[in-house]
Amino acid sequence: MIPTKQDIRKLNEDQLKTWLTGHGEQGFRSKQIQEWLWKRSVRTFDEMTNLSLKTRQLLAEHFEVRTLAVSKQQQSSDGTIKSSFRLYDGNLVEGVLIPALRKDEDNRMTACISSQVGCSLTCKFCATGYMDRKRNLEASEMVDQVVAIDQQAKEAYGSGLTNIVYMGMGEPLLNYQNMLESVERITSPNGLGMAAKRITVSTAGIAKMIKKLGDDQVKFNLALSLHAANDDKRNQIMPINESNSLPALAEALNYFYQKTGTRVTFEYIVFNNFNDTLQDAKELWQFTKKVPAKVNIIEYNPIAEADFTNTDADKLDQFAGFLENRGVIVNIRRSRGKDIDAACGQLAGKQ
């Protein structure tokens, strides 16, 4: 579907003010309209009740509010909810609501959102990596996923979102400006008003963009999908490593830390008989000494396109124990939503 009108959410407050005054409207209406769009999340001009009928008709004549719709929703046996979102042009992306399971998780409600339709990075263990990248998501489309998942959380669990992770489909740092704008809209008092420290952006590792995050002094958390602390192994499963080696990433991550003071999280999926030995743990420990970091060890979630399997429980415990005995902060992340293909690495926008 080819849009016939301009997307009003692509205009900032000043641009909208200029447009309004050029069409005989009062400039202060721009702030009201922006509040309706970003703070109250309305999706039709008719809902903007403090605007005159004439102003609303003028806006509807020239603009549209491009929205996403839930195409399909599934609930896992563990309470995780996965949604397939249909975008204004018919493309699909997936987002996930992950409710807290344990009392020590502080009633956490996490939204996992996508940043691209598909992905160009071809990581061998990830379902999205077997798709083509069709396009970047607009900032508004990332915000809309958060709004939709927040509503799901309130309806299903009586509690809104507490955390957001950019860990769905796509590489956020290859959609840099839209991703940053979406974070600004989510955290702004004139937007959704969430704390930046409740947001984590995950990257497969693009050194120059990690440095740019540092230069921009972002306030959110950064996670690196590491999965091997050995260039030869990482090249095998993550082709991006061939142009962004571990030494280059270590330099970029240290630059990010110096600029922001934020410790990085290393995400490490343990694959059976690939990266789960004590030698692999030793290499990971040595890499953590180069960059102030903590480690999330993640269970692997099988996909049809790849032959990897999850390591066994004893190996996983030995791996984690090796790191903990050397002072590394380690969390073991158990899979959530595996039975509906909603777990880490399984999102692919399939119907």
Q: Which residues make Cβ contacts (< 8 Å) with residue 247, sequence separation at least 6?
A: none
Tokens of 97: 């609501």
| Per-residue model confidence (pLDDT) at position 340 | 46
- SS3 call for 328: coil
The sheet with strand 293-299 has its strands ordered as 69-75, 81-86, 92-99, 109-112, 163-166, 199-203, 221-225, 264-270, 293-299, 330-333
Is residue 119 marked as binding? yes
| Per-residue model confidence (pLDDT) at position 76 | 86
Is residue 273 marked as binding? no
Nearest-Å Rg of the Cα atoms of the chain is: 21
The packing angle between helices 139-157 and 176-187, to 10°, is 40
The per-residue DSSP string of 204-264 comes to S--HHHHHHHHHTT--SEEEEE-S-SSHHHHHHH-GGGGTS-HHHHHHHHHHHHHHH-PPE
Task: In whole angstroms, give the CA distance from residue 275 to residue 256.
Answer: 27
Task: In whole angstroms, give the CA distance from residue 79 to residue 152.
Answer: 12
Q: Could you tell me which CATH class the domain 69-340 is placed in?
A: alpha beta
6-64 CATH, one of 1.10.150.530, 1.25.40.10, 3.30.2130.30, 3.40.950.10: 1.10.150.530
Q: Which residues make Cβ contacts (< 8 Å) with residue 60, sequence separation at least 6?
A: 45
User: How big is the chain, counted in residues?
Assistant: 351
Question: Which residue in the list 94, 141, 267, 299 is annotated as catalytic?
Answer: 94
| Per-residue model confidence (pLDDT) at position 347 | 46
Is residue 112 marked as binding? no
Angle (CA) 69 165 88, round 5°: 20
Is residue 301 marked as binding? yes
Is residue 126 marked as binding? yes
344 catalytically annotated: yes
Per residue of the chain (351 residues), what is the pLDDT tens digit? 556 799 999 999 999 999 999 999 999 999 999 999 999 999 999 999 999 999 999 999 999 999 999 999 999 888 899 999 999 999 999 999 999 875 555 689 999 999 999 998 989 888 887 888 999 999 999 999 999 999 999 999 999 999 999 999 999 999 999 999 999 999 999 999 999 999 999 999 999 999 999 999 999 999 999 999 999 999 999 999 999 999 999 999 999 999 999 999 999 999 999 999 999 999 999 999 999 999 999 988 777 778 888 898 899 999 999 999 999 999 998 665 555 454 454 444 444
| Per-residue model confidence (pLDDT) at position 176 | 98
Q: Where in the chain is the domain with CATH 3.20.20.70?
A: 69-340
Task: In whole angstroms, give the CA distance from residue 221 to residue 168.
Answer: 16
Q: Where in the chain is the domain with CATH 1.10.150.530?
A: 6-64
- Torsion, Cα of 168, 169, 170, 176 (10° steps): -50
Is residue 170 marked as binding? yes
Question: Which residue in the list 64, 112, 141, 344 is annotated as catalytic?
Answer: 344
Q: Are 121 and 172 in contact (CB under 8 A)?
A: no
112 catalytically annotated: no
